[in-house]
Chains A and B, each alone.
Chain A
């Protein structure tokens, strides 16, 4: 009986862990999509006007909600408070704290080194490229997540059937 209770507890913990991991990954994917969209918004904004970078970051923030918006706010605030740190470093520091899938983070983190350092055309090209690379990374992360979800579901079902068999 004790073994059965223990087995059930282990199974529940595994299921809980898998669900939490899945939720965290989905959160990262959703955030990545928002940030990817914000890069496209900034690219379009640069095409229409030549806004100052602070204004550009504000527009990027407006394209996001929650964590994405907070990221842009933090970068803006720090850029005003400590301009000597440089936008590239501030962007990277704040970006590293985001729960982005690793491939998407790799495409997103260098964007700070591009913003405000080149003319509008070069920045637009860079933003387009970063958004494209990020989109691809997010797509493959999504597919991987979907595959892993199916695997987790199959494993969980097997474990549940096994447990049920033990119980009966």
Chain B
């Protein structure tokens, strides 16, 4: 997908006037997000992280509450009730793997978020796959037909999910392995009407929206995977499910927030996982200037 195609696809959920302004302003830029703020205007988040207000004819483009409501209506095909669960998670998946983040006054019942009313701002997050990012990891993981269970580590914002997605794509496309992906928040495959909007390979079965721990075991029982994958292992139940899966002889690929192995060892949650030898390899993502590199290490 070309850069401008991605922006065009992501901006399809915007009301006409806003869409035209975004496409005209963002055509020659790397736009990562389009932000709509009621009463304050339209902003583009560029690749450098800087926010730029969209100005047409010398005046900022106005954004009203109705614009936000219409954007959500277009994103949900006028069916907010169907997307209620995704709204509780804070974002709506869009065609093409893009996402619409929602902000406003939250409805809470019994301590749980039940919905958002009175929208105040929206963020259209433009998906940008990085094909080839996972090649070094895949080559280090696979030995013949055997895949070594690998845990991808990095601090937030380094591209763990992007690396996981590309690794799964390569394992699927090039090695033809059956992969089961527990995509709890819909960030890896971006399922939209049953079809992954982000390339996770032809042989990857995606379980979307299901808590990871249950999802991993469901996939294990139902889909007979050779590789099980999950993004962001953060709860003891996730670790428990991974341990069970590892004992069943399935290779695992997962991600976790940590700067490296030492950082991981300090976290009580991951101690048991490491002790059980669920993973044989770790892959640490590091920043090198504007780019990223992956360092693969064998676990003792």
Which A residues fall within an 8 A CB radius of B? 46, 50-54, 79, 83-84, 86-87, 115-123
Min CB distance, A79 to chain B, in Å?
6
Question: In the complex where A119-B81, A119-B84 touch, is A86 in contact with B70 (Cβ < 8 A)?
Answer: yes
Interface size on B, residues (CB 8 A): 20
Q: 29 pairs across A/B with beta carbons < 8 Å? A: A50-B84, A51-B81, A51-B82, A52-B82, A53-B77, A53-B78, A53-B79, A53-B81, A84-B16, A84-B70, A84-B74, A86-B70, A87-B78, A116-B73, A116-B80, A116-B81, A117-B69, A117-B72, A117-B73, A117-B78, A118-B80, A118-B117, A119-B80, A119-B81, A119-B114, A119-B115, A120-B81, A121-B114, A123-B81
> Which residues from A are CB-within-8-Å of B76?
116
* Distance of A118 Cα from B76 Cα, bound (Å): 11
* Distance of A52 Cα from B117 Cα, bound (Å): 19
> Which residues from B are CB-within-8-Å of A118?
80-81, 115, 117
> Which residues from B are CB-within-8-Å of A121?
114
* Distance of A113 Cα from B68 Cα, bound (Å): 14
Which B residues fall within an 8 A CB radius of A? 15-16, 69-70, 72-74, 76-82, 84, 87, 107, 114-115, 117
Partner of B15, one of A54, A84, A117, A122: A84
* Distance of A123 Cα from B87 Cα, bound (Å): 16
* Distance of A50 Cα from B81 Cα, bound (Å): 6
Report whether A115 and B82 are in contact in the complex, using a CB–CB cutoff of 8 Å: no
Q: Which 8 A-B pairs have the closest CB atoms?
A: A116-B78, A52-B79, A120-B81, A53-B78, A119-B115, A53-B79, A119-B84, A50-B81
Closest chain B residue to A117 by CB distance? B80
Closest chain A residue to B14 by CB distance? A84
> Which residues from B are CB-within-8-Å of A51?
79, 81-82
Closest chain B residue to A80 by CB distance? B77
Partner of B78, one of A50, A79, A120, A122: A79
Min CB distance, A104 to chain B, in Å?
24
Min CB distance, A78 to chain B, in Å?
11
Partner of A83, one of B74, B84, B114: B74
Report whether A116 and B79 are in contact in the complex, using a CB–CB cutoff of 8 Å: yes
Partner of B82, one of A50, A79, A84, A117: A50
